[in-house]
Amino acid sequence: MPWLFGNGSSSVRWVGMGQPRDVWLRRFPGAAGGSGAGWELVCFPHAGGSAAYWRPLSLALAPGVDVVAVQYPGRLDRLHEAPVEDLHRLADLIAEVLGPSGGRPRALFGHSMGASLAYEVAVRLGRLPGGGPDLLVVSGRRAPAAARWRDRCVSVDDREIVERVRRLGGTDTALFDEPELLELVLPALRGDYRALASYEDTGGRPLTCPVVALTGDRDPEVTVEEVEAWGEQTSGAFRSHVFGGGHFFLDDHPEAVAELVRGLLPARAG
């Protein structure tokens, strides 16, 4: 699974408001979506993950869908920046970068921690005139009501974080056997898990867009029932899809996931 590291200075720079889109959003060579594509699909990685995780989906959906993946601070080409340890602050920053869609259809797709972040960004965009997304897809993450007490049990101890990530799979765990590589990836993992441990969701039913929830039937992090509770967050339509697999079931079913997403983003007449 694409991971965290890249070249960066040893200094730390805190992210601030007003940064351009190319600081936060990544497109991938060979995925010729661009502004001519019908839909923009904004993808949010899991805890410890990078924008590169979404490259296979981007290639599969090109050229009809313009896939842009969010690059959080503290990984790959943003390794020199400190991770943001507050999901609400991170959502504020990303929502400001995205802004209103300008009439172009937009969907948000988040996996694991990225699902909660995509939800919070959707809430913020929905407060802007013409800003709300047309679709939210959440994956491998329990709904806010089910997450409120579970996330308080998340350990932010480095050793326990590493062991938990090993259990979830989907990661090149050989990284954790190399002290120098582990030193590179731990700050982002630590920051993301701290953000999860302190996260309190925006409550109520703040969304009006359709919500689609995906899960693996053997995910140790979340039950099917906890995922299906995402329907409580929107006044729009809700549906769920269960795949075979664990927490990173997306990696096991790339073609099926791409086909599902493609069907959720139909071409607009005109």
User: For residue 30, which phi and psi values (nearest 5 degrees)?
Assistant: 95, -15
Tokens of 194: 């701290």
**Catalytically annotated residue among 58, 101, 112, 116:** 112
| Residue (of 84, 76, 81, 77) closest to 3 by Cα position | 76
User: What burial class does residue 21 get, using C-beta atoms within 10 Å of its C-beta: 0-12 exposed, 13-18 middle, 19+ buried?
Assistant: exposed
Residue 112 annotated to the active site = yes
SS (H, E, C) 119-186: HHHHHHHHCCCCCCCCEEEEECCCCHHHHHHHHHHCCCCHHHHHHHHHHHCCCCHHHHHCHHHHHHHH
Catalytic residues: 112
